[in-house]
Amino acid sequence: MLIVTSFFVISYFSTKDKLFSAKNREIKNLFFLLAAFYIAFLLLLSTNQGYHNFFIGESQRSTGFLAYFSFGIFMLIAAKYFKFNHQKIFYSAILVLGSVYTAYGLMQAQGIDFVEWNNPYNSIIGTLGNPNFAAALMAILLILIFGFTFLTKMRNIQKTINILIVIGLALNIYLSNARQGILSALLGVGFFSLIVIYKFNKIIGLFTGFILLAVGATTVLGMLQVGPLTQLLYKDSISLRGYYWRAGIEMFFANPITGVGIERYGSSFKMFREPAYPLKYGYELVSTNAHNVYIQFFATGGIGLGLTYILINLYILKRGVIGLRNLDSNELVLFVAIFSGWLSFQAQSLISIDNSGLTVWGWILGGMIIGLSSENNVMKSNAIGKPLIEQRGKKTSFSIFPGIVLIISFVFVLFLSRSETNVFLARVAYNPDNRNDERILQTYAKKVIDDPLASPNYKFEVSNYLIQSGMESEGLNEFVKIVDKDPTNPLYLNALASMYEYKGRYQESIDVREDILIYDPQNINNMLQLARLYKVTQNQNKSIQMKKLINQLAPQSEQSDIVNKEIPF
């Protein structure tokens, strides 16, 4: 939906209007910032390992170049075409979405769901696959609907409906147990209330601001295990995120120009994680994202991508401050609601991952802030008796170009989703205890392997199915191809090494496991296997070296006990 709608929208408006030659200075600035962001993105293509991760992104997340290009299209369209007199349409859309999410979240909380989600988390996930993402989106909706309630033309019945939905969304966020949703909602509502109070009375506003700042500081300290709110706000996942952030920062300092590669955080994580991480959380737990959008861009795309992303958001922030200074009455209320929603999105992006269903709203709201704060809109909103939008009398010529783009993008997405369908069918057919399904499994696995748009992770998954189902040569050949294309990914390397060991090809397994030592230097499970392999191949010196390294890194571990028993000399 993201790709199809964004490409159709940009083709439609580029033929209907002179989108790229806007006279509006703010829109031009945004266009150049977005262009710089995408140029920085595309310059990384030649250094990236694998086109799929670059353009499409990680499996099940799909936040590669195409996703961010689509986000930018929505931001640009929102900046140029959203006007103050569109508030009724916007209000209706947000109200409908808020109502749906309120009802659906309460149903999920009661165990009532028309979709059988494969969900290991809290039951309230909305349609975003994770309670944190769902809570963050509901926080944005809550802030917007709360803000709409203060519009002067809002009738009492509408205000009542708004309040009920706000309460429903707040209840869902609380039941989701996603603290980032609670904090994002409080931040947005607090900021909205502060601006409205300050406009009404500056002294009371300053006093309120001081109180909110104190509460905010205490909250942040509580999340960091400092102060009276520690028991209420601290979660072990915050410490976990600290490891992710520091690993991302290390990736950037090691590769400041290009980063480790777009969507390559996961395959690089084990090389840059702190030694304490595997001792505390295990050697197999891996993160595929820095859980901070800014760090993620710097870590995977280097200084060019990271800085241009910061500049885009700083420009939105600047336009937000200008809008707060120049707007008044109803226009100010609408603007503050949108600005508060965007700030809420930014707050959660500091501790979370970009998710298409959530992130698109952050970019759209950012575009709205730029557009509504532009000189043209401010003058129109302050002009008495003048319309808030340009006259629509100008006719535009008919063009089939948007239709062609719609068809092409739709066909592309169908081909893109085909590999997901085939890998799901392969999972259903996978049954190592029943050889009758082998041919079905082989059929779907081959479709995934031969699909140029299939994720490498999917190809790895179905290759493993083939091996486990007795088709070892086919699966092993594909393993080798996957590793040749991605020779630094510990997940692929470890699987290939295990397969070589199973086949008795010990020297080849040693070669692969020595590569794992480089890309996963703290993995004592790999060191234990190497010590065993060196022993089998009569390389006593290297076997003893591995034993000493294990005892040095994890002297009290299970692996240390095993290696000391198996290699006593």
Q: What is the pLDDT of residues 465-521, one digit of tens each?
A: 988 888 888 888 998 999 998 999 999 999 999 989 988 999 999 999 999 999 999
Helices within 327-355 (DSSP H only): 329-349
* Average pLDDT for 25-34: 92
For residue 18, the model assigns a pLDDT of: 64
Q: What is the pLDDT of residues 256-305, one digit of tens each?
A: 999 999 999 999 999 999 988 888 888 878 899 999 999 999 999 999 99
Show Cβ contacts of residue 32 under 8 Å, excluding neighbours closer than 6 positions: none
Indicate the range of 3-17, 35-49, 150-164, 379-393 predicted with least confidence: 379-393
**What integer pLDDT is reported at residue 276 of this predicted model?**
86
Per the CB < 8 A criterion, the answer to whether 39 and 28 are in contact is no
pTM of the model: 0.90
| pLDDT tens readout for residues 379-419 | 555 443 343 334 444 444 457 888 888 899 999 999 888 88
Q: Kindly report the average pLDDT of the chain as a whole number.
A: 87
Mean local confidence (pLDDT), 137-155: 93
What DSSP assignment string belongs to 385-444?
T--SS----------SHHHHHHHHHHHHHHHHHHHHHHHHHHHHH--TT-GGGHHHHHHH
pLDDT at 402: 84
Per-domain boundaries in the chain: 417-566
Specify the CATH architecture of the domain 417-566. Answer: Alpha Horseshoe (1.25)
The pLDDT of residue 94: 96
Over range 538-559, report the average pLDDT: 90
pLDDT tens-digit map of 419-451: 889 999 998 888 877 766 788 888 999 999 999
Mean pLDDT of 343-357: 93
